[in-house]
Structure 1
Amino acid sequence: MDKIRRALLGQIAKLTAGAALVPLSSIASAGINDQPPRREGDPEKRYAMLIDLRACIGCQACTVSCHIENEAPLGSFRTIVSQYEVEHEDTGDSATFMLPRLCNHCENPPCVPVCPVQATFQRQDGIVVVDNEVCVGCAYCVQACPYDARFINEYTQTADKCTFCAHRLDVGLLPACVESCVGGARIIGDLRDPESQISRMMKEHYSELMVLKPEMGTAPHVFYLGMDERFVSRPDAKPAIWDVRDQQGEEIGYEFSGH
């Protein structure tokens, strides 16, 4: 039996077994289409990230450090810097635009209420996480995310995504991507602390800040400074500089794996 068939049968078996262990009462109480109560985390904090695109050079240090820190499978990313080749409408001159992407840790995350077992949940500090001990790999949350920020981890066969490196924040460390950013483009902090760097920057640049897909009503908590409004929604663009390939050599492109 080849590896692909074994992996497929293993995944089907896990999904079937997982579904069999989920009583109907649990699905009913999960509050599908409603946001369930937040749990864990510090209720006194609300974490968010501000990405200063004026300082991003597209070096992918954040992508690499995140990949190492969180042991993501080859070809899958919790964060990545999309690189777009754009042309000036009048002159035709081309340039490269960098857009770091990750889970937006929304105030109203659409990925949470669709989970039939509440494996995906929002902490009281706003961070959206996945309990891999509970997740059955149904991928409902992957489909619900409007930011292409989720994937099914081929190692664990459960949902995976950026967590703002909550395990590091909880012990006073910065997320791997923030710590490794050579330009200091990523700023993370507590919005409820008026003296935090992110609070001060958001106050200073309030009129310039943008979020991705605001029309979705998710209230993203990843804010961009220095972004052209044409990139608020997924632009009609082509990859620039480099591409990404999976283990079979197939091109993944410049978005998250599988999208």
Structure 2
Amino acid sequence: MSLTRREFLGCSALCAAAGLVGSGQADDAPVNPKNFALIHDETKCIGCRACEQACRKVNQVPEGVNRLKLNIDGPYHAEEQPYYTFTRESCQHCQDAPCISVCPTGAAFRDKATGIVDVDPFKCVGCQYCLAACPYRVRFINPVTKAADKCDFCRKTNLAQGKLPACVEACPTGALIFGDLNDRNSELVAVLRSARTVRDKLDLGTNPKLFRIPSQKPGVL
């Protein structure tokens, strides 16, 4: 599978995407850098946790820690029908990432070719400054490497092989849409143009690149 698989409608969503596109590029960045982002369509999510399992397997995530967690809340009752809501908890790949600015060794960085926020475990000294700075509380110390760890959109695994992130590949309902904000013909950009999306903690100015299409109908567990 290739990478071509493809808050609110109108100015808010489009301006948010436009603000992310082309921003934060260094002078020595690649000529055609990408700016990867992810949409979690909660209306399509069924809470199967296939995304969690695929992430753990592909990225060899040790037991006891998670790069990706699916939060399942409920049951709620609508018209006498119990239902659940499903929300993704993982790195937001912020355009203005506080974890990068506080890192004393340069271990936390943004990959110039992809826009992905990542960690170099060989530079990490385990000071945990980045864990404290992350407003989304999604970083952890890997018990094997002893370095800070988190979702990297499978940059060193699936993406390096020309595949989609493991969670996206594993999702049976197409609830996860991964793509390049700089590619205006991508499915991700098309969805941002047409759907009502939200992002968490926008008031903090981090410009997160994990978008959500909020649950509107009862989910299925």
Question: Judging changes above 3 Å, is the alpha-carbon distance between structure 1 residues 127 and 39 closer, same or farther for their aligned structure 2 residues?
Answer: farther
Is residue 171 of structure 1 aligned with residue 161 of structure 2? Answer: yes
d(CA) in 1 for partners of 2:25, 2:141: 22
Who is 2:209 aligned against?
Answer: 221
Match of 1:113 among 80, 98, 101: 101
d(CA) in 2 for partners of 1:73, 1:184: 26
Moved beyond 3 Å, runs of 4+:
35-43, 90-95
**Contact 2:85 2:215 survives alignment (8 Å):** no
Is residue 65 of structure 1 aligned with residue 76 of structure 2? Answer: no
d(CA) in 2 for partners of 1:155, 1:39: 34
**Contact 1:106 1:126 survives alignment (8 Å):** no
d(CA) in 2 for partners of 1:142, 1:41: 29
**Contact 1:48 1:221 survives alignment (8 Å):** yes
Give 1:226 deviation, angstroms.
2.4
d(CA) in 2 for partners of 1:36, 1:155: 33
Percent identity, aligned pairs only, is 38
Give 1:41 deviation, angstroms.
7.3
Question: Judging changes above 3 Å, is the alpha-carbon distance between structure 1 residues 99 and 159 closer, same or farther for their aligned structure 2 residues?
Answer: same
Who is 2:145 aligned against?
Answer: 156
d(CA) in 1 for partners of 2:25, 2:188: 28
DSSP 3-state at the match of 2:98: coil
**Contact 1:36 1:113 survives alignment (8 Å):** no
d(CA) in 1 for partners of 2:101, 2:116: 15
d(CA) in 2 for partners of 1:227, 1:38: 40
DSSP 3-state at the match of 2:131: helix
DSSP 3-state at the match of 1:166: coil
Question: Judging changes above 3 Å, is the alpha-carbon distance between structure 1 residues 120 and 37 closer, same or farther for their aligned structure 2 residues?
Answer: farther
DSSP 3-state at the match of 1:129: strand
Q: What one-letter code is carried by the residue in structure 1 that aligns with 2:90?
A: L
* 1:221-246 alpha-carbon deviations (Å, 9 max, x no partner): 01001247xxxxxxxxxxxx8xxxxx
Give 1:111 deviation, angstroms.
0.6
Q: What one-letter code is carried by the residue in structure 2 that aligns with 1:138?
A: C
d(CA) in 2 for partners of 1:186, 1:127: 17
Question: Judging changes above 3 Å, is the alpha-carbon distance between structure 1 residues 42 and 156 closer, same or farther for their aligned structure 2 residues?
Answer: farther
Is residue 46 of structure 1 aligned with residue 35 of structure 2? Answer: yes
* 1:174-210 alpha-carbon deviations (Å, 9 max, x no partner): 11100001111111011111111101111111xx110
Question: Judging changes above 3 Å, is the alpha-carbon distance between structure 1 residues 185 and 42 closer, same or farther for their aligned structure 2 residues?
Answer: farther
Higher RCO (C-alpha 8 Å, min separation 6): 2
Match of 1:204 among 191, 194, 198: 194
Is residue 187 of structure 1 aligned with residue 156 of structure 2? Answer: no
Give 1:99 deviation, angstroms.
0.4
d(CA) in 2 for partners of 1:54, 1:68: 26
Give 1:38 deviation, angstroms.
9.3
Question: Judging changes above 3 Å, is the alpha-carbon distance between structure 1 residues 191 and 171 closer, same or farther for their aligned structure 2 residues?
Answer: same
d(CA) in 1 for partners of 2:54, 2:27: 29
Of the two, which has the highest radius of gyration? Answer: 1
Q: How many residues align?
A: 192
d(CA) in 2 for partners of 1:106, 1:43: 20
d(CA) in 1 for partners of 2:201, 2:215: 13
Unpaired runs of at least 5, structure 2: 1-23
* 1:21-54 alpha-carbon deviations (Å, 9 max, x no partner): xxxxxxxxxxxxxx99698777521100011111
d(CA) in 2 for partners of 1:54, 1:87: 15
DSSP 3-state at the match of 2:102: coil
Match of 1:133 among 118, 122, 125: 122
